[in-house]
Each structure stands twice: as structure tokens, then as C-alpha cells.
Amino acid sequence: MSPTAQASHIPDTQGERDERHLAIQRVGVKRVRFPLQLRIGTQVQASVGEWTLDVALPAEKKGTHMSRFMAWLESGADEVLEASSLRDRHQQMLTLLGAVSGRTEVSFALFIKKRAPVSGIESRLDHQARWVVETDAAGRTRLWQELAVPVKSLCPCSKEISDYGAHNQRSIVTMAVELREPWSFAAQARVAEESASSELWPLLKRADEKWVTERAYENPRFVEDLVREVALRLNSQASVGAYRVEVENFESIHNHSAFACIERS
């Protein structure tokens, strides 16, 4: 018997009927690391994505076809991804799995090139990013773009009560936004950077360091100030629907973090 004929006689256990009458909301694969090509502006950037892929399984079905998730990843191995193309790929995944609803999620590192404020020297700042595409049982699809942006914050209280200086720290602004239309990661990063006491650069000369230090001193921000400033800017952004903004300050005078969160549903 040929291999093809043998394969046709192998029972499809996953395709059998299940009599327990319990639907599964999400079933699939997670922590899948796979090469990724990203379109960042006019450039293509290589990265490694960590994927979570799943679908909803009706009560009458015993199992989903796990190998098809990996086949779907392999089929797009050479594609350059952006948010809109991932949405199309997500729909292809649902079709391949024979599913009405499901979720595609990929997390990755990306680098945004920046110029130092005085010297103009260029360097690349790393960010953690994520795309999530989810389709519900009614067929409605939503696309989310998440970006974690490192910034600098300086304490207004410390500045007010001190004869000189003020304590400051690095902060992480994490913005998960529902996209109504395409929005670049660089533009999303600017929302956080313009809301902070100062933005950050990987490479600074002494004149740049002086500028950053004085810039932060002139723009003190509590964690509450920072999260509100980010939310105000997102409220005026036509590309953004629902969002969740979380800010964490890695306090320099405490052994704990301060945080704040604002959501718009």
C-alpha cells in the first residue's frame, strides 16, 4: 500500500464527535517562537515572534487540528507583516481550522531609530510590542496593537520640597490600543514620550545628557500625571478605539514600583 493510501486509512480521532456537550472557548498552541519580518515605516526589520494561536471548539467536536496552526505559520514564513496584513492572515487561519471565532497573538522586540536631542547622533531604542487579532462568535474582528515604551519621570513632590535636585526614575508606558485604521509604532511611541518628563535614548553625548536632565526637571510628572497625559493624547487620536494604558515607575527612593492604569472600552 502506498504512503498516500496508508494515510487515507489513518483514523481522524480529533474529528470524532464528543458527547460531553461542553464547548471550549479557546484551544490551540502557545509559546511558539518563529522568525518574523516586520514592516516598520519604509524599512523591513527582522525579529523573532512568540505566537499564541487558538480557536473556539464547538461542543460536538472532540478536538482541533493542532498541526494546522503550525502549517499556517509556515505558509507565511516569507511574508513581511504589518497590522493590516496580520488581520488578513488571521482570517486565513480561521478558514484553515474550520472555525468561526479565534485569536492570533504575536509578541516581538522592535527597534526604533532615534536622534539624540543636541548631538543628533543616531541609535536604536528597543521596545516590546504585540499584535492581537480576535474574532468573536458573531464574526466581529478586532485588532489590537500594544507597545511598551521606556521613558523618564521626575517627582513633582521631590522637586517642590528639596533645596536642589529631585529624584527621578525610568518608567514603562504600556499602551494596548484597538486600531480603527493603521497607526505606526513610531507614532504610538511618541504619545508616551511626549507625555513623560523626558524621553530616552540609548546613546547620548554629554551635551545630550545635560539636555535630558534639565528637560526632566522642567517637566515633573507623578505616575498619575503620566497616565493621564497619555490617555488625553489617545483620546484625540482618530486611529484608536478602545485602549488600556498602564504606567509603572521603577522608584529610585523605594524598593517598589508605583503604577497607574486608565482604560477606555
Residue range(s) defining the domain that contains residue 138 = 25-264
Q: Is residue 7 pLDDT above 90, yes or no?
A: no
- Is the sign of the CA dihedral 175, 219, 212, 258 positive or negative? negative
Q: At what angle do helices 66-75 and 83-97 cross, to 10 degrees?
A: 140
Provide the strand spans (E) within the chain: 24-40, 43-57, 102-115, 122-135, 141-154, 168-179, 198-199, 240-250, 257-264
In a domain, 165, yes or no: yes
In a domain, 250, yes or no: yes
State the Cα–Cα distance between residues 109 and 126, nearest whole angstrom. Answer: 7
CATH (domain of 108): 3.10.270.10
pTM: 0.91
**pLDDT of 180-219, one tens digit each?**
999 999 999 999 999 999 999 999 999 999 999 999 999 9
Q: What percent of the chain has pLDDT over 70?
A: 94
> What residues pair up with 102 in beta bridges, in sequence order?
55, 135
Q: Is residue 238 pLDDT above 70, yes or no?
A: yes
- Is the sign of the CA dihedral 78, 147, 265, 54 positive or negative? positive
In a domain, 124, yes or no: yes
In a domain, 14, yes or no: no
In a domain, 20, yes or no: no
In a domain, 6, yes or no: no
Q: Is residue 69 pLDDT above 90, yes or no?
A: yes
Question: What is the structure's pLDDT at 5?
Answer: 56
CA 49 to chain centre: 11
Q: Is residue 102 pLDDT above 70, yes or no?
A: yes
Q: Is residue 78 pLDDT above 90, yes or no?
A: yes
Mean pLDDT, range 44-60, rounded to an integer: 96
Question: What is the structure's pLDDT at 3?
Answer: 56
Question: What is the structure's pLDDT at 73?
Answer: 97
The x, y and z cell numbers of residue 263, run together, are 482604560
* Number of folded domains that form the chain: 1
In a domain, 15, yes or no: no
State the Cα–Cα distance between residues 57 and 72, nearest whole angstrom. Answer: 18
**pLDDT of 105-155, one tens digit each?**
999 999 999 999 999 999 999 999 999 999 999 999 999 999 999 999 999
Q: Is residue 68 pLDDT above 90, yes or no?
A: yes
In a domain, 107, yes or no: yes
**pLDDT of 247-263, one tens digit each?**
999 999 999 999 999 99
